[in-house]
Amino acid sequence: MTRAQTGTILSHATAGTASVASVRIAAVVLAAALTATAAQVSVPVPLTDVPFALTPLMVILSGAALGSRLGLAAQLVYLAAGAAGLPVFVPSPTLAPGAMRLLGGTGGYLLAYPIAAFVTGWLAERGWDRRYLTSLVAMLAGLIVIHAGGVAWRTVLLGSFDLALVTGVVPFVVPDLLKAALAALVLPQAWRLLSRASPV
């Protein structure tokens, strides 16, 4: 694969820009802010303390758009803001606020966000976000990382892998497949727009 066929949306959009570093910092902060905004769109799910939220969608999209390292950095900024007590996590009357949220029932998902963004970004850097099917695989890979982190931590808290699956994965399979399908549409379209504006 040639250099023109690798890299991320951000790296190609900022190629030749004099202030690349400042643009990257701004992109990390923006991605963290968008993740926080997505967290405010949530719906309680019966029989589990894990809510349905749009946050994972933003995590995998930001990873794909920014790349592995910057995507990871954006999610670390998001987690740091939440741990510091800023209202960036999903609003919940039952889940603990601030840093204690990372130790609660959804802590495993949250702590997996940087890894999920890194994985999705790593695949995007290698051109997986250029076509729908490979983009879908990249998005699913990120979501699998998030669920793996969530289930692992819930298994510790609940003392049961089966219960962790039933309360932390099963209710979200269909919604998350839809999230991945939607996210997979975004990057190939963005590449088409970028190539029209500035052919690589």
Total structural domains within the chain: 1
pLDDT in tens, 59-97: 999 999 999 999 999 999 999 999 999 999 999 888 899
Mean pLDDT in residue range 133-150 = 96
Which residues face 42 on adjacent strands?
53
The radius of gyration of the chain's CA atoms, rounded to the nearest angstrom, is 17
Q: What angle do CA 74, 77, 79 make, to 5 degrees?
A: 110
User: What is the DSSP secondary structure assignment for residue 47, as one 8-state letter?
Assistant: T
Query: Cβ atoms within 10 A of the Cβ of 144, count?
Result: 15
Which pLDDT score is estimated for 195?
73
pLDDT band at 2; cut points 50, 70, 90: very low
CATH number of the structural domain spanning residue 190: 1.10.1760.20
pLDDT band at 3; cut points 50, 70, 90: very low
pLDDT in tens, 12-58: 777 666 688 898 999 999 999 999 999 999 999 999 999 999 999 99
- Residue 142 in contact with residue 114, Cβ under 8 Å? no
Residue numbers of the domain that contains 57:
3-197
What residue type is assigned to position 81 of the chain?
A
- Three-class DSSP category at 42: strand
- Residue 79 in contact with residue 110, Cβ under 8 Å? yes
